[in-house]
Amino acid sequence: MTVTSKSLPVLFSSASYAFRGGFLVRPFIIALTLGAAGAVFSSLEEDVPAIGSLVPGILFPSRADPQVAQAILTDIATSIMTVVSIVFAILLMTLTLASTQFSPRILVSFIRDRVTQWTLGIFLGTFSYCISALPAARSAPHAFVPVATVTGAMLLAPVCVGWLIYFIHHISNAISVNHIVDRIARETELVIDELMPEPRRPVLELPPSGVVSEGLELVIPSRLSGYIRFIDIPRLRSLALAYRVCLRVQRRVGHFVPEGVALLHVSRGDRVTEGQVLQLLAAIDIGPTRTMQQDVEFGIVQIVDIALRALSPAVNDPTTAISCVDQLTSILIRWAGRAAPPGHFFYPPHVLRLAVPWIGFDGLLDLAFEQIRHYAVADAAVSLRLMRALGDLASTIGEPMLRRRVIDRGKRVLAGCSGRLQQDDFQRLQGRLSILESGMAEEE
């Protein structure tokens, strides 16, 4: 198997996403910065002894005994590592329990939590600071006590204690299901804002069959198995123009592509060399897990997973399922109010260069509500909230065609609950469907 290298924009996008989320980049940068500060500060203090005299004597009275400085730095470093080991061991156990109860995919949102990243970075940074400053406190060949540097370590210690208290408070709130769902929804809406910045306007879309003017004869298979995480559209468009071909990406962002399965179709395959094929593949990032770089569906899938767990007989928590329905409604309203991302790129006009598939409104609506509807047919509270959510969604949509699709989903909810709910609940559900069909969201 030949693994293709990624293009620079794809690498930059992946690096940026890794910086925003993960326990590697941000904690490493913080730890490296504080460690370098300890080494530089102690060296500077040795070159300019007057710096130590600026520290009040009450903060560090023993200025002639290097062993005191060594003991302080060593004690702070060992204490910090002990605390961070215990805290993060408990954190991992908590996340394991949360992932078991809600969904294993929510671990992504915890790893991307900035407070957790800063906590790890500050604790490891304080440890690095003490270790970097420790060699400066010595008795031979001549005694030296880095007073200001040790004072800095003594100030970092209470900062770590205060940050630990804040972190415990933060994580106790972060593991609540409402907080988890809200965080996933906000991140999904940010992806929508980046992917679909323009408001929706009535447009006439050309059918795909009318824009593909020539056969796509060359099939470019994927060179590795994984999920499509990012498509560098400007890069593919420029390559298609340079090679004078038409490209069509076969699968959407978030879809799994096995090795050897078609990833791209290209017209005029005689114009594309093996090196150029590698450049085309390098514009698509494929990895073992889905990410939120361009994948709106992944955010919805996470929330739906939590709702389905809540509806299972083992959990039976309709309140959590209702919270998930509320957040899914917010995401769909944001999506419905934005212009769909462009799927066909032309240059010059009427010459198709690139076709990229995106999920449509129907697909997103079914992804968000269909499974919940199926498993909530015997739950009056969740079914009623589903119907109200569809009413809220319909009230924000101006296009009659999209409104009809939302009404069709409401009819499915009612049909699924027929014979499964008590008569009073079923009549309430019929009333909400009538409100939905009238185009007015229910006011409560």
- Give mean pLDDT, residues 422-439: 89
pLDDT above 60 (res 1)? no
E strand or H helix at 362: helix 361-375
First-last CA distance in the chain: 59
Residues 4/282, Cβ–Cβ less than 8 Å: yes
In whole angstroms, how far apart are CA 42 and each of 47, 146, 209, 344? 9, 6, 70, 59
What tens digit of pLDDT does each residue of 97-142 get?
Answer: 777 777 777 777 777 788 888 998 999 999 999 999 998 887 777 7
Which residues is 286 bridged to in the sheet?
Answer: 228
Query: Scanning the structure block, which residue is given the tokens 């409402």?
Result: 178
**Rounded CA gap, 401 and 202, in Å?**
11
pLDDT at 388 over 50: yes
> pLDDT above 90 covers what percent of the chain?
54
Using CA atoms, how far apart are residues 289 and 94, in angstroms rounded to an integer?
A: 22
Q: Does the pLDDT value for residue 17 go beyond 70?
A: no
Q: What is the mean pLDDT of residues 323-333?
A: 96
**One-letter identity of residue 36:** A
Residue 63 pLDDT exceeds 70: no
pLDDT band at residue 398 using 50, 70 and 90 as cut-offs = confident
Q: How far apart are CA 51 and CA 136, in angstroms?
A: 14
Q: Is the pLDDT of residue 414 over 50?
A: yes
pLDDT over 90 at 26, yes or no? no
Q: Which residue has the tokens 């903060």?
A: 59
- pLDDT per residue over 303-320, tens digit each? 999 999 999 988 889 999
Q: Is pLDDT above 50 for 207?
A: no
pLDDT at 199 > cutoff 70: yes
CB-CB neighbours of 96 under 10 Å: 12
Peptide linkage before 141 cis (omega within 30 of 0): yes
Among 124-133, 172-181, 378-387, the least confident range: 172-181
How confident is the prediction for the chain on average, in pLDDT?
Answer: 86
CA dist 427 and 421 (Å) reads 9
- Check residue 202 and give its pLDDT: 64
Residue 213 above 60 pLDDT? no
Query: What's the mean pLDDT in 180-191?
Result: 92
pLDDT recorded at residue 20 = 62
What is the value of pTM for the model shown? Answer: 0.81
Q: pLDDT category, 441, cuts 50, 70, 90?
A: very low
Is residue 54 scored above 80 in pLDDT?
no
Task: Check if the beta carbon of residue 372 is closer than 8 Å to that of residue 309.
Answer: no
Is pLDDT at 91 greater than 50 in this prediction? yes
Measured between alpha carbons, how far is residue 92 from residues 84, 86, 96, 322 in Å?
12, 10, 6, 28
Query: In the predicted model, what is the mean pLDDT of residues 204-233?
Result: 73
User: CA 7, CA 278: separation in Å to the nearest integer?
Assistant: 10
**Quick one: pLDDT band at residue 209, thresholds 50, 70, 90?**
very low
In the prediction, which pLDDT does 5 show?
A: 62
For residues 383-388, average pLDDT: 95
| pLDDT band for position 444 (cuts 50, 70, 90) | very low
Q: Residue 82 pLDDT > 90, yes or no?
A: yes
Rounded Cα gap, residues 422 and 383, in angstroms: 12
**Tens of pLDDT along 241-297?**
999 999 999 999 999 999 999 999 998 877 888 899 999 999 999 999 888 889 999
* 205 has pLDDT over 50: no
Task: Give the type of residue at 75.
Answer: D
> Higher pLDDT residue, 60 or 384?
384
Chain-centroid distance, C-alpha 280: 26
- When pLDDT is cut at 50, 70 and 90, the band that residue 61 belongs to is low
Identify which of 41, 34, 58, 42 has the alpha carbon closest to the alpha carbon of residue 159.
34
Q: Which stretch of 1-10, 67-76, 350-359 has the lowest confidence by average pLDDT? A: 1-10
Helix residue spans in 266-353 (DSSP H): 274-282, 296-311, 318-336
Strands (DSSP E) found in 56-193:
none
Q: Spell out the SS3 assignment of 387-425.
A: HHHHHHHHHCCCCHHHHHHHHHHHHHHHHHHCCCCCHHH
Nearest to 232 by CA among 262, 253, 211: 253
